[in-house]
Amino acid sequence: MIEIDNDGFTVAAEVIAEGLKLAPADIQPMLKAGIILSATEAGVDEDLGTFRLTFSTRHRRLRLVVDALGGVLSSSVLDFGEQPLPPASRRPARSEVYRRSGAFRRPRPLNITVLS
């Protein structure tokens, strides 16, 4: 479950670590250093009330689609092994779910919480 409040989204480091095959303790420092990139997008039209959270490193991308209450509707991982991700895979994309109106918007900031 992802927490959503007025300050943005809170995601446990363990969730990101599992998807990106990293240690949970490494998530926060890697985000601060820009080694892990993150982006948030809000669904529009038929997808209103859903959000897509994307985390990527040089070789992997984790994408979570959550509902307005923070429940994870779907998750996917793109893993290129030792090869780098194509540059387009590291940016927010207009997948079929979010393409229906031809637009998406970036909502509130993404906050990462490291749980001990």
Q: Quickly list H helices, 1-116.
A: 13-20, 24-32, 96-99
Question: pTM score, two decimals?
Answer: 0.78
Q: How far is 91 from 79, CA to CA, in rounded Å?
A: 15
The predicted model gives 24-53 an average pLDDT of: 89
Amino acid, res. 112: I
Structure tokens at 106: 């970036």
Q: How many domains in the chain?
A: 1
Helix (H, G, I), strand (E, B) or coil at 108: coil
Structure tokens at 97: 């779910």
What residue numbers bound the domain in which 34 lies? 3-113
Tens-place pLDDT, residues 28-42: 999 989 999 888 888
- On whether the CB atoms of residues 10 and 2 are closer than 8 A, the answer is yes
What pLDDT is recorded for position 102?
A: 41
